[in-house]
Structure 1
Amino acid sequence: MSEKRALPWLDSPPDGFLEREQRIKSQKQVNIDVYGILRTKDVPQISFEVVGSTGNIYRTIIGNVPFCDCPDVRFRKVQCKHMCFVLSAMDVPSELRYQRSFLPSELREMLATLSLKRKLDTTTPTTAGEKKPVDGECPICFNDFKPKQKTTWCQDCGSNFHQGCFEKWRAAIQTSDNAVRCLYCKLPWKGDEPETPRPTPKAVEPEQRRSKMKYPNVGDN
């Protein structure tokens, strides 16, 4: 059976797309984790939670017709930078990144690429407590490690993370009172940074952790 795209193919990027792609390079987004993978008739739908540049946490879904719950998509009906970020993270070809819908075969390829990127670091065995070389990509923001950037690492599997990315990621995980686990080995986090006692939540804390538009927020303010 031939595949059919839900929405017409775009021969060129729509207005504003290239600007949004540039913004994801200057305004770092942070992928908390792949929230879930659903399959309908072998067609994957990949759901991400992404921390935007203001600290808001958005749900971004890549499926037959991609969606994000951020204001750009909900109210302005345009492709947002969070979609651009996750498509770039999955190494989607440039001519597909601005499409409004995807074929099942394209979605399966995206899932395969994402799964491979998340497993690559676990294929290099290390002794517990041994740090791996700081090279390749940070698994949270999918940007390359650069010289003199602050990093942290898991003392169980040795995997490295940008320090700033890890702090945002940990704060986002803790907004749901979930245990912080290494993205790679999935063991409870033991990093090289000093442990600080987690503050006792106050009754008003959940509201303080939300933005004015009621998104969960892990920003500084």
Structure 2
Amino acid sequence: MSSKSFTQSPYTKATKTPSSTTKYKAPTSSSSQTPTKKRKSMTTSSRHDNEHPDTRKTPKRAKKDSDEEKRLRRFRAKPPGTYLERLGRVRTQRMFLIDRRRNDKELEEVFDIAGTTGNIYQVTINKIPDCSCPDSKKGNQCKHIIYVMVNVLKSREDLAYQLAFLTPELTEIFASAPSTPQTAGSELSNATETGGLRKPLEGDCPVCVMEFEPGEDILWCKAACGNNIHRQCFEQWVESKAGAVKCVYCRTLWKGDEVGVKRVLKGGVGSVNAGGYVNIAGQLGLSGQRDMSSYHPYWVARQYGDRYDDYYNGY
């Protein structure tokens, strides 16, 4: 055979020549790869946070001033039912203002009140008003405190039912309170001499601090100022003061024969009852029994139960 000729069999596996081999590309480092848009966005955001570190932080809450005065008992947004119930008694039951003493340095005033049963209670108006009666000792706002706030001090309605006061509130209450004959050294502006001519029946009685009503037994100063006063209140005034009988308003010697009561001094009059209170019911012409007409029967039953008769010797 001449030259060896070779024909590739269809069953023979073809071998790749170097020219047909694919060139190998070395992998590029991750640092040289083009970042995605999402990554670029995050990088921009991070750079922005680093440049302005405070823009995304929640602002700190302002601290309360440590010098701010705090109310010592919870604030009442509206008058509760217990207050309204006692206010009803204050408006229908007569009590007597025997004495009052102001302490301006302590923003405090103390009132001696003869209750409806004749017991004498001491009401103190300061940052936390207090009374010596049993109801107040239980933590309640008693009718004697309400009587002083509403009738004597004539405080704003939204202050009258509060259980505690702030300094500005106390200052306002005392600054706007009217004078009464019991105020130390007071001489009332309406105690002008009229030669005994009676003044119009208007305003409040100076002792019970309640408005005059038609048909009530009322006296007036016939010696000088002509001011009016309930007979029962005048007798109480006489019995709580020593010496000669004088007008509640103008302090002129009283003219008239209405003084038919014994003169007694507070602290040396009456008797001490089972509750430990000085009781002057007899001297004031009171029965010594509590007026129960404005009390809820359920409350009476819970307070006294089978001791119903003891209800008359309380407060």
For Structure 1 versus Structure 2, the TM-score category normalised by the shorter chain is 0.7 to 0.9
Matched, 1:6 2:68: no
Identity of aligned residues (%): 31
Matched, 1:190 2:254: yes
Unaligned runs of 5+ in 2: 1-66, 288-315
Residues 110, 214 of structure 1: CA spacing in aligned structure 2 closer, same or farther, 3 A cutoff? same
Residues 117, 194 of structure 1: CA spacing in aligned structure 2 closer, same or farther, 3 A cutoff? closer
Other-structure match for 1:163 = 231
Return the offset for 1:63: 0.8
Q: Residues 219 and 229 of structure 2 are in contact (CA less than 8 Å); yes or no, is this contact kept in structure 1?
A: yes
Q: Residues 59 and 68 of structure 1 are in contact (CA less than 8 Å); yes or no, is this contact kept in structure 2?
A: yes
Inter-partner Cα distance in structure 2 for 1:213 and 1:49: 17
Unaligned runs of 5+ in 1: none
Specify which structure has the higher proportion of strand: 1
Inter-partner Cα distance in structure 1 for 2:68 and 2:130: 24
Q: Residues 126 and 132 of structure 1 are in contact (CA less than 8 Å); yes or no, is this contact kept in structure 2?
A: no
The counterpart of 1:37, out of the listed 102, 107, 125, is 102
Q: Residues 269 and 280 of structure 2 are in contact (CA less than 8 Å); yes or no, is this contact kept in structure 1?
A: no
Q: Residues 168 and 218 of structure 1 are in contact (CA less than 8 Å); yes or no, is this contact kept in structure 2?
A: no
**Secondary structure of the corresponding residue to residue 136 of structure 2:** helix
1:18 aligned partner, one-letter code? L
Q: Residues 219 and 230 of structure 2 are in contact (CA less than 8 Å); yes or no, is this contact kept in structure 1?
A: yes
Other-structure match for 1:142 = 209
Residues 20, 189 of structure 1: CA spacing in aligned structure 2 closer, same or farther, 3 A cutoff? farther
Return the offset for 1:133: 1.8
Residues 145, 95 of structure 1: CA spacing in aligned structure 2 closer, same or farther, 3 A cutoff? same
The counterpart of 2:110, out of the listed 11, 33, 47, is 47
Q: Residues 152 and 193 of structure 1 are in contact (CA less than 8 Å); yes or no, is this contact kept in structure 2?
A: no
CA deviations on 1:18-37 (whole Å, 9 max, x unpaired) are: 11111112221111232x10
Return the offset for 1:180: 5.1
Other-structure match for 1:218 = 280
Q: Residues 141 and 165 of structure 1 are in contact (CA less than 8 Å); yes or no, is this contact kept in structure 2?
A: yes
**Secondary structure of the corresponding residue to residue 83 of structure 1:** helix
Matched, 1:79 2:141: yes
Inter-partner Cα distance in structure 1 for 2:191 and 2:252: 20
Return the offset for 1:2: 5.5
What TM-score comes out, normalization by structure 1 length? 0.80
Residues 200, 151 of structure 1: CA spacing in aligned structure 2 closer, same or farther, 3 A cutoff? closer
Residues 15, 125 of structure 1: CA spacing in aligned structure 2 closer, same or farther, 3 A cutoff? closer
CA deviations on 1:176-217 (whole Å, 9 max, x unpaired) are: x576543322x265154434474799xxx9585322222121
Other-structure match for 2:125 = 62
Other-structure match for 2:93 = 27
Other-structure match for 2:305 = none
Larger Rg: 2
Inter-partner Cα distance in structure 2 for 1:200 and 1:117: 21
Residues 188, 72 of structure 1: CA spacing in aligned structure 2 closer, same or farther, 3 A cutoff? farther
| Aligned length in residues | 210
Residues 103, 53 of structure 1: CA spacing in aligned structure 2 closer, same or farther, 3 A cutoff? same
Q: Which has the higher contact order (CA 8 A, sep 6+)?
A: 1
Return the offset for 1:138: 0.9
Inter-partner Cα distance in structure 1 for 2:189 and 2:255: 17
RMSD of Structure 2 on Structure 1 (CA): 3.0
Residues 137, 191 of structure 1: CA spacing in aligned structure 2 closer, same or farther, 3 A cutoff? farther
Inter-partner Cα distance in structure 1 for 2:132 and 2:243: 22
**Secondary structure of the corresponding residue to residue 18 of structure 1:** helix
2:236 aligned partner, one-letter code? K
CA deviations on 1:93-129 (whole Å, 9 max, x unpaired) are: 2221221111222222222332356679524633343
